[in-house]
């Protein structure tokens, strides 16, 4: 497959995304190839660890390939998207639960679907160019691919802030929030990968790790906790509108680009998942309730039209922020009954 290269090198199973001109957007076929490789390597004694990286300077992966999702959805075929998300989510769970070290090198943009194949790994490495984000609310989705779990486990109310505004995390912020583990200068990545291939020993990562340049979220957290600490979207909006700080104005502007339905659901999801004992499968099952309905009942198709197809950046959302949806958000997150996400295939 020209979009991805999978091989064994020394003690490592190697996965490299090879779509740099498309910012390494993850296709359905790429997800299938990754899952097949992980299944093959699980019981392969020659493979001590798995390394996933990507070609190009701009992005590890800027997200999932949404062109076909849009085309099929516009044609009234919702089943393709539902299967795509179900199979992608099973892969995300497999990565999180993988019995061998899974090491991700995340340069440039890592967003959406890219987060799902990297940030659930056991060893997540960022460098000076790394920018990690969950911007799904801006296209009428919610933070998914298991990202909702990491947002729920983030310090304070950073999860609500990052999930609704799509704010980007540099290396220090990504480590602080829980989307990454180690900062290694990118000029050292080739050497580190060679050592991992040679030894199959993850202790090589710690020997090359350094303290990252300062981020921004630590200094902003008290303000974020106050502004995003409400029970729902309306409470967050009221707090932002009544605060005269530049930060609140910027956060409100960013949130205003998001689908109100998606933002309301994102906050609700983070709240539901912020409890002891929640697993990756709990998070993915909740996310799938939304994405299963996203094309038919959500803002996804309109969000993609405005951002990717027509590029007018003027989506006509179903709801507005002056009257944030609550009942509609509740309906989007209701159990799916017989359509509930399962993790049987490929396990």
For the annotated catalytic residues, the residue numbers are 64, 113, 136, 144
**What is the residue-wise DSSP string for 94-137?**
HHHT-SS-EEEEE-BEEETHHHHTTTTSSEEEE-TT-EEE--GG
What is the rounded CA–CA span in Å between residue 25 and residue 18?
Answer: 10
Q: In the structure encoding, which two tokens stand for residue 70, read together?
A: 């849009």
Q: In the structure encoding, which two tokens stand for residue 158, read together?
A: 């950073």
Per DSSP, 25 falls in state: P
Q: Which of 242, 229, 236 is nearest to 326 (CA)?
A: 236
User: Token pair 């296209």 is at which residue?
Assistant: 139
Start-end of H helices in 228-259 = 233-242, 246-255
Computed from CA positions of residues 56, 62, 64, 68, in that sequence, does the dihedral angle turn out positive or negative?
A: negative
Which residues are bridge partners to 16 per DSSP?
Answer: 5, 53
| 3 state SS of 86 | helix
What is the rounded CA–CA span in Å between residue 346 and residue 328?
Answer: 34
Computed from CA positions of residues 41, 47, 50, 56, in that sequence, does the dihedral angle turn out positive or negative?
A: negative
Cα separations in angstroms, 125 against 89, 102, 178, 198, 303: 22, 11, 12, 18, 31
Chain mean position to CA 115: 4
């Amino acid at each position: 497959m020209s979009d991805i290269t999978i091989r064994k090198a020394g003690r490592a199973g190697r996965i490299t995304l090879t779509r740099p001109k498309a910012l390494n957007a993850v296709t359905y076929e790429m997800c299938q190839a990754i899952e097949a490789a992980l299944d093959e390597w699980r019981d392969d004694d020659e493979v001590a660890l798995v390394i996933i990286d990507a070609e190009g300077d701009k992005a590890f992966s800027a997200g999932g390939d949404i062109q076909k999702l849009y085309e099929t959805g516009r044609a009234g075929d919702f089943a393709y998207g539902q299967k795509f998300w179900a199979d992608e989510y099973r892969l995300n769970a497999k990565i999180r639960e993988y019995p061998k070290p899974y090491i991700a090198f995340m340069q440039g943009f890592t967003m959406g679907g890219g987060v799902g194949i990297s940030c659930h790994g056991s060893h997540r490495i960022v460098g000076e160019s790394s920018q990690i984000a969950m911007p799904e609310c801006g296209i009428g989705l919610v933070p998914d691919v298991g990202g909702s779990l990491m947002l729920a486990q983030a310090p304070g109310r950073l999860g609500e802030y990052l999930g609704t505004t799509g704010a980007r995390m540099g290396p220090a912020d990504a480590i602080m929030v829980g989307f990454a583990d180690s900062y290694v200068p990118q000029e050292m990545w080739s050497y580190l990968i060679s050592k991992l291939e040679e030894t199959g020993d993850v202790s090589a990562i710690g020997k090359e790790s350094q303290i990252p340049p300062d981020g921004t979220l630590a200094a902003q957290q008290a303000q974020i906790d106050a502004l995003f600490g409400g029970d729902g979207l309306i409470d967050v909006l009221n707090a932002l509108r009544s605060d005269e700080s530049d930060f609140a104005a910027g956060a409100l502007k960013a949130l205003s680009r998001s689908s109100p339905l998606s933002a309301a659901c994102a906050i609700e999801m983070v709240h539901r998942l912020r409890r002891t004992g929640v697993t990756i499968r709990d998070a993915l099952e909740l996310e799938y309730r939304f994405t299963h309905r996203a094309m038919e009942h959500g803002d996804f198709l309109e969000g993609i039209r405005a951002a990717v197809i027509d590029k007018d950046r003027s989506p006509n959302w179903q709801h507005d922020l002056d009257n944030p949806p609550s009942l509609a958000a509740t309906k989007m997150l209701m159990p799916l009954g017989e359509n509930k996400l399962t993790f049987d295939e490929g396990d």
